[in-house]
Amino acid sequence: MNELLKLSALDLHKKVQTKEVSPSEVLEAHITRIEQVNPALNAMVEDDFVRARKLAHEQTETLAKNNSDLPPLFGVPFTVKEMFSYQGMKRTGGSIHHKNDVMDWDATVVARMKKAGGIPMGTTNVPELGFWFECFNPVYGRTSNPYDLGRTCGGSSGGEGALIGAGASPLGLGSDIGGSIRMPASFCGVFGHKPSRYLLPLTGHFPFEQNDFRTLLLDQKYPYTSMGPMTRKAVDLAPMMKILMGSDDIDQHTLKNPTMEELSQEWKGRKVLICPNPVFHRARGTDDEMVQVVKNCGKLFEELGAHVEELDPRFFVRSAELWFAAVKNSKNRNLYETLMGPTQHLSIGKEILQLTFGKGNYTLPNLLVSLAEIFDTRKKDFTEEMQALAKMKSDLDEKLGADGILILPPHPRVAPKHRAPLWSPFDFIYTAIFTTLGHPATSVPMGLNEDGIPLGVQVVGPYMKDHLTLACAEFLETTFGGWQPPKNL
């Protein structure tokens, strides 16, 4: 593997700035890797290589004249989850009803990456409508895990996870409502950060248009979706956050002028909670190997003088019902209405039957949830659940204090085999609950198991203390090795 493919974005930028390599050389190394691995992974669904090469050439010429005052990602390629608006590229959300949608504007986070000097290389695969933690849709098909092609890469930012995990992109843009950044990051052995709620603008994310933020996405109807960075090196997370966060004056909920404290590696006296084997209603228990990596973290921090405590494993037991209540309470439309698109007489039963014959225009998880919505005629009053969610948040805040962190598994097992999540559909709750609670959470790779599949932990911090989880990610990377290139690609 080309050595450039093993470096952080910060190191790539430094090499470009000092003229050790050109932006074009960095870009070509990654394009070559994408062309090498993508036929097996199906992670990049639309490339933007022509424009990327043009921009890299222009940056190379700029560098020949001046190498001072360069923006922080100058010369660094990146990739974009297909659910972001990206000028000149499709935004289908994996839906047949949007398969020809080409965007003429950039999502705010895409625009900010470009302004920072980043070179976009293309878009990456998602599940249908971004709903499900396997990466498959009727427009682009299935994406596989770079460490085992028979396993899922996760979802919904699965294409990003797979491409970054394969060493084909140094960093990318993901989004997260049920763990859609953290699960694929964990499955594919890379870093992913779900920021504190309201830190990054949602503008440009599927299915919303710019005007929606002034008419639909108000007050309690604002989605729980969070934008966030995915990287192969932990050191790139904080710089990306500084580039991406803050209001764009379109998404009215985004904090106006947020700041991030400096990352500190002083752990003595710090409160560290661990929850190696949390209990969630409807979800399976944690596999021993995932339990052990959390315990390894606890032991490490204890040796460093931190105050390590074990959180009651039943603290999050109601998470599934509370997450569903919060998401339903904030919805502007049912999944069924979004799935149906312009088709007014969708027969879900007929579509499910077609799937049994390998046909159909929709995926099974979306059809099953849509069917449940149609027959669910109960009164939608989530007052009790929202109060319980608020209490869970308050209780967690009290336990974390001002500068504590919580370490727990991001999933009960390593990346499952393709289609296996259908038999354990609520396992996403390990990550999902922190989206509705609003806390920052970072997925950190913790080496490979005996089968060569990535292990990982999830680090959670107090609201608006993203620097704590990012600092922990950098520390764990130096101790346990971080991302390791897959050997089978």
Task: Tell which residue, 260, 220, 267, 217, has the closest CA to residue 240.
Answer: 260
Task: Tell which residue, 31, 28, 27, 56, has the closest CA to residue 44.
Answer: 31
Catalytic residue among 24, 95, 144, 180: 180
Q: Cα–Cα distances in Å, from 66 out to 17, 26, 112?
A: 9, 18, 22
Q: How far apart are CA 222 and CA 241, in angstroms?
A: 21
Q: How far apart are CA 39 and CA 24, in angstroms?
A: 23
Whether 90 is catalytic: no
Residues forming beta bridges with residue 117, ordered by sequence position: none
Cβ atoms 438, 393 nearer than 8 A: yes
Bond into 207 cis (ω within 30): yes
Cα-based angle 371, 373, 374 (whole degrees, multiple of 5): 65
Whether 399 is catalytic: no
Catalytic residue among 8, 22, 24, 81: 81
Whether 180 is catalytic: yes
Cβ atoms 172, 77 nearer than 8 A: no
| Tokens 């705010």 -> residue | 108
Give residues with Cβ within 8 angstroms of 177, minimum separation 6.
Answer: 130, 223, 224, 225, 226, 327, 432, 435
Q: How far apart are CA 323 and CA 433, in angstroms?
A: 6
Neighbours of 399 (CB within 10 A): 16
Catalytic residue among 8, 95, 144, 156: 156
**Token couple for 33:** 């890797």
**Sign of the C-alpha dihedral, residues 370, 374, 375, 377?**
positive
One-letter identity of residue 288:
D
**Catalytic site residues?**
81, 156, 180
